[in-house]
Structure 1
Amino acid sequence: MTPPTRLPTTGDRSGAVLARLQLMVTRKLDGLLQGDYAGLLPGPGSEAGESREYRPGDDVRRMDWPVTARTTMPHVRRTVADRELETWLAVDLSASLDFGTGRWLKRDVAVAAVAALAHLTVRGGNRIGAVVGAGATAGGPGTLLRLPARAGRKEAQGLLRAVAGTEVRPGRGDLGALVEMLNRPPRRRGVAVVISDFLSPPQQWGRPLRKLRVRHDVLAVEVVDPRELELPDVGVLPVVDPESGELHEVQTADPGLRRRYAEAAAAQRGAIAAELRAAGAAHLRLRTDRDWLLDMVRFVAAQRHARTRGTTR
């Protein structure tokens, strides 16, 4: 199995490496996403704009009744996207993300997603902040770091360095507690992004996520490795749980075992997707064996297209 390409480990992540990552993000996003305002979730805003004819899927709460009465055709009122919004990131860097068999480790994809989100946020003059979770220990909740929301490229670069420099700790992280940090204290309406592999039980983080959706547009960035979806036929495979440290040997030559593993993995991912859908969160899946930046660009383009047509995610 080819070892994954990865960014340097926590101890040797240099400013030059992060600068190259930011340059790659800037070139691709600015080259493929043209327009005055290109956030990941360009919200509907609160400032009234022009009216247009109603299309199936439009929010009926935006009906423009005076224009509808004059024209005898259903119309909805457009709104202008708010500027100077706050974007908050909940970045899960628990031990399960320190794994990867593709081109990247899951942790690296999570850090890269932070870089892209920071770029998309500050280019609109908005503020960005983050809460970071780095696993748990037997005697406590582990590291929960809060980085205040600030505007400006220099501040965004500082946030990215802080996230990339967070030390991964052994143990199972509490994603629910991390998401709950975005609910307290209450903040004005903005964008909240949760970056994780979501391997914690959905009942742990589902309720805090639904609570977060009441006040904010929510995006869930799910980081996945292909070996979490299916096993290759490579004989006896020693597997270590990065959160518990337990070692298991798996006989991957057994086709029945591989089939059961794939079915269980599909059911797990289906449960994650269903919980995110129930919470009303937009869902972006990034894989370690794919061009994660291109997947982000496609997601942004799809969101902008949906907003243009008046439909929701």
Structure 2
Amino acid sequence: MSTLKVAVIGCGSIAKYRHLPEYNANNQVEIVAVCDIVPERAEQMAEEYGALAFTDYKEVLKVNGLDAISVCLPNYLHAPVSIDALNAGKHVLCEKPMATSKEEAEAMIAAATANDKKLMIAHNQRFVSSHQTAKEIIDSGKLGKIYSFRTTFGHPGPEGWSVDGADSWFFNKEQAFIGAMGDLGVHKADLMRYLLGEFTEVGAFIETNAKKNTEVDDNAVCMLRTESGIIGTLTASWAYVSGGDNSTVIYGEKGILRLEDDPTYSLIEEYRNGSVINHKLDKIQTNEEGGQTNTHVIDHFVESIVEDNQPLICGEEGMKSLQIILAALDSQESKQIISLKQGVTVK
């Protein structure tokens, strides 16, 4: 196949530190266009990558020979822009959370199917070495029956990461729809589904208690249960004043797995018989390091197009992870446990 022509729509931090450098590093890709409503941002990225600059994404979709786009926009624009791109015959890599409702997510999936194009959601946690190794260990049966887990994703908030700082769309409810749960929690929902399978019930406490002048959540604690009875907590926070936490611990019948829970070892296996196995693997990506590591998201997306394979995090997978977050919001509002099986409240 000839070189894949791609465009990045939205030139904020996720495009600047992840999508554009990773496309640029992939020798099967040519970045042909970038787009941002702030002309200076688009022009700066266009100059850096030798691309055309646009302020209207609909003009990008008309670029001759364009194969694929990344949607790096505020959450409320994920679905409409992705659907327009799919209908224009482009493959789409969309940032998470994929949409602001189940209906939007279904419409994105339908557009991908109707146009026979790839739709991938940029959940990078599945590509982290410790998480992939943990999945192999769990699937092998080495831990025996899995009982419970805890997973968390927290940092000081998007102010230091977003190109707009404290004025970022992340804090605007109309544009973001959801706060820390959509920014961080949905990553962990996707990771736990990848490691443990589907969840059937969700309960949550969700608060806006740390950030001022915003209505979106900044602290959330969720309780999850699988059909087989694995129970655990998922927490998301924008209120960790020092550093961040991106750890997961899985408790099984024969042992415990600690993922990204130790400064030296990305994965630690601790067994009932006293044996401990320390794994020194590639570090998980953080915003603090300026994004100099490869998330493998872009490479996987490109590979899925070139080899005509279904991406690991296709639209359906993205929607299932989104539904856990939507159920958490429902739980907070209704003060009930929400069933993911029937979409009804469990009394």
State the TM-score, normalized to the length of structure 2: 0.31
Higher fraction of helix: 1
State the TM-score, normalized to the length of structure 1: 0.34
* Structure with greater Cα Rg: 1
Structure scoring higher RCO (CA < 8 A, sep ≥ 6) equals 1
